[in-house]
Amino acid sequence: MGGPAAPPFSARHRVSMLPVAVSSRELHMPLSETVSIVVLTGAGISAESGLSTFRGAGGLWEGHRIEEVATPEAFARNPGLVHQFYNLRRRQLLDPAIRPNAAHRALARLEWRWGGEFLLVTQNVDDLHERAGSRRLVHMHGELAKIRCTFCGDVRAWAEELSVATSCPACGRSGGLRPHIVWFGEMPMEMERIEEALAGCDLFVAIGTSAQVYPAAGFVEMVRGRARTVELNLEPSAASHLFDERWHGPATEVVPAFVAGLLGEDVER
């Protein structure tokens, strides 16, 4: 994963809200012409479930930018701090109050109801898409609810606190466990599968992502001119101008409306 994209937010990127009453007709596109759909999601889709985004207000963690706790260098320098950061996020995800929202459910419905090729690529490390029912899903930045042993390569589900003293359940050695998360400077997961899906897609939809982190921020340019491109976000992202269509508003309103338009259904609230 590369660093943040060059253009930061500026005054001209300020909020332009989608009028709340979006008719399905306005968002309709002829599905018959669509063979393959790729959806990219970011932190914005989980915001209304109670998980904070990375770059919004409150996006700092105890004065650290995400880039300062999400690098292999940070982990080598201060593994306790990095474990603490991910322990907190893992604990938050296990809170029963954190549940999938209408946007997660709408994407699961799209996957199940629509018969063509489909891939949901998420930058999110939460498991709200799975909990909503999504199955054709790639966690390109890894998964908070899993850990990996850097000694033996074992990857497994993990709901506990993690520390430098925790020993690997597979090989028994301690000091080698890390969150199964892609940090800055590391390769995102399953890039081959993602690139293959992007190469063949007719509809590309980016949801709740600021387009500040590559390679995900560059997906729209990979498909532009060949696929129909749609941005669904609270406000224009850094890449907004590259999309054919832009719908700005809260994910729980915009995503169900968009999916209903695709499937010719009534909107779920």
Question: Three-state DSSP class for 22?
Answer: coil
Judged by CB under 6 A, which of 121, 158, 233, 259 binds ligand OAD?
Answer: 233
- Which sign, positive or negative, has the C-alpha torsion 144, 150, 151, 153? positive
Instruction: Select from 135, 112, 110, 92 the least CA-distant residue to 122.
Output: 135
Distance, in Å, from the CA atom of 82 to the CA atom of 75, rounded to the nearest integer, reads 6
Q: Within 122-170, where are the H helices?
A: 128-132
Window 38 to 57, contacts with ligand OAD (CB under 6 A): 42-44, 47-48, 53-56
Number of residues located near ligand OAD, criterion CB under 6 A:
27
Query: Residues 141, 180, 241, 248: which is the catalytic one?
Result: 141
Cα(258)–Cα(22) distance, rounded to whole angstroms?
Answer: 9
Contact 230, 206 (CB under 8 A): yes
Q: Tell me whether residue 141 is one of the annotated catalytic residues.
A: yes
> Mask: binding to ligand OAD, 89-128, rule CB under 6 A, as x and -?
----------------------------------x-----
Beta carbon nearer to ligand OAD, 45 or 108: 45
Shortest Cβ 56–ligand OAD spacing (Å): 6
In the complex, the residues that contact ligand OAD under the rule CB under 6 A are 42-44, 47-48, 53-56, 59, 66, 70, 123, 141, 181-182, 208-210, 212-213, 233-235, 237, 250-251
